[in-house]
Homo-oligomer: A and B are copies of this chain.
């Protein structure tokens, strides 16, 4: 077999059986090998940021990596923003980038560029295969590196000639997901001591601490010790509903986050990092740990966070199993004007059991956490790295990774336009993704940020750069142009009706929810 086939067989031997692809000439051998390795599902994306974001979404729900197939430096460049989000999500991704033939690189052909320089910024592991015989073992190393812990993006560069050259070694060894190391007893004891001190304490939960086991153990710790539970601002995949404790997320705005943590003397980190402001603002702090508060690291994402929370529960005397929590009531079916409140109520009212919610609502989603807390069990995926344009790709990949579940993508209009090509892949693959496209016709968050950086309200020329009208984007037309059925909801009742219908219909659809915004 040639190097390309060795690559594909290494992937499938390790359970990496999906490849989100936007190939070019230098990747044609890998494309051709798909016919010889039918275990690998090649999924065409019309833009590389769709492929990388989909790989992230896949990993977040499937718990194992997908591969990508990108075309040289510029293709990798197009995938960088969502690889950045995947890096922040600590999602395992096997990022395969084709390159010119080894002997061709010195000619500086038009597509030649510094692939390594681009890849290193987002990759926890990077390698360029040197010989066809190495491709299989290198691919196995890439999978191993993607798993970590901590998990992340592993970029393997495959020069074109290695893919068409015979590989005498064939595939590399199968790689399995490694177990996470347990934390040292001292870490648990240090956290337990802090929580037993009688001083105000909080647990900041992230990563696996936001999965059901972690949440349950954390809830017991909080109930027993009085410690406050707070989730990181942008979780990779937070389990919610169905009796899970509805943990409040740390606010995006530093001032609000500081208010949430006000008076806390011990901050115990479980799979989360010490909180910092998303951006800097004149006169506001970057570090959001309250003054006089001691930070305790119970577990990092490279450790068994859920196990550490169990150990902590034991140490503070919070024995027994995890019990369902009363998280209030499901909202009534909304009527009247379409507002952030009624939008959230429609989602909370209709959210089906097992849904995967992808949340790139930006400013319009403020009422969602409360409105969905009492919904059936679901998962919540957020914009971990702040690089907007992740929602539609995440939803695409999540639907591939969880084919028996409904994906609900809650998507702001400005952010949608970075990776709108995702809709076509949803149509081609017949993915069960329902997108609610929140159209406020502005980069509303930036209108807000303009004032926060001390630039005032902005004049006409500044505001024109934050305004998505003139002309209005017609997302119904755009979605239909990519083969996705679409409709418009102009009030809350219409949204509930459209959403109910869409959730019950196989395949993708998009509902443009017209919000007041100007």
Contact = CB atoms under 8 A, between A and B. Distances in A.
Given A31-B466, A279-B109, A424-B471, A121 B118 contact: yes
Contacts of A49: 78
A110 B117 CA distance: 20
A164 interface: yes
Contact of A111 (B80, B164, B385, B450): B385
A44 interface: yes
A184 interface: no
A160 B279 contact: yes
A32 B427 CA distance: 40
Interface stretch (A99-107, A142-150, A393-401): A99-107
Contact of A110 (B234, B446, B464): B234
Contacts of A420: 420-421
A469 to B, nearest CB: 9
Interface stretch (A214-222, A238-246, A316-324, A478-486): A478-486
Contacts of A474: 480-483
A283 B280 CA distance: 56
A12 B74 CA distance: 31
B450 A280 contact: no
Interface in A447-466: 449-450, 452-456, 458-462, 464-466
Contacts of A476: 481
Nearest to A458: B32
Interface stretch (A22-30, A191-199, A369-377): A22-30
B428 A29 contact: no
Interface-centre pick from A42, A110, A121, A418 (highest chain B CB count, 10 A): A110
Contacts of A25: 279, 445-446, 449, 452-453
Interface residues of A, number: 101
A260 interface: no
Interface string A376-396: 000000001111010000000
A286 interface: yes
Nearest to A460: B35
Nearest to A454: B164
A107 to B, nearest CB: 4
Interface-centre pick from A278, A420, A461 (highest chain B CB count, 10 A): A461
Q: In the complex this chain forms, how many copies of it are found?
A: 2
A506 interface: no
A125 interface: no
Contacts of A445: 25
B77 A77 contact: yes
A420 B81 CA distance: 18
A21 interface: yes
A337 interface: no
A391 to B, nearest CB: 14
A113 interface: yes
A73 interface: yes
A417 interface: yes
A472 interface: yes
Given A25-B453, A114-B121, A77 B74 contact: no
Interface string A275-298: 011111010001100000000000
B286 A104 contact: yes
A46 interface: yes
Interface string A408-446: 000000100110110010011000000000000000011
Given A88-B110, A472-B483, A21 B117 contact: no
Interface string A81-113: 100110010000000000011011001111101
3 pairs of A and B residues whose beta carbons are closest in the complex: A471-B483, A77-B80, A35-B459
Interface of A: 21, 23-26, 28-29, 31-32, 34-35, 38, 42, 44, 46-47, 49, 73-75, 77-78, 80-81, 84-85, 88, 100-101, 103-104, 107-111, 113-114, 117-118, 120-122, 160-161, 164, 234, 273, 276-280, 282, 286-287, 384-387, 389, 414, 417-418, 420-421, 424, 427-428, 445-446, 449-450, 452-456, 458-462, 464-468, 470-478, 480-483
5 contacts: A34-B461, A74-B386, A77-B118, A424-B473, A428-B471
Given A104-B286, A472-B483, 16 more contacts: A24-B449, A25-B446, A31-B462, A31-B465, A34-B465, A47-B417, A47-B418, A77-B78, A84-B113, A111-B385, A117-B121, A160-B453, A424-B473, A428-B471, A477-B480, A478-B482
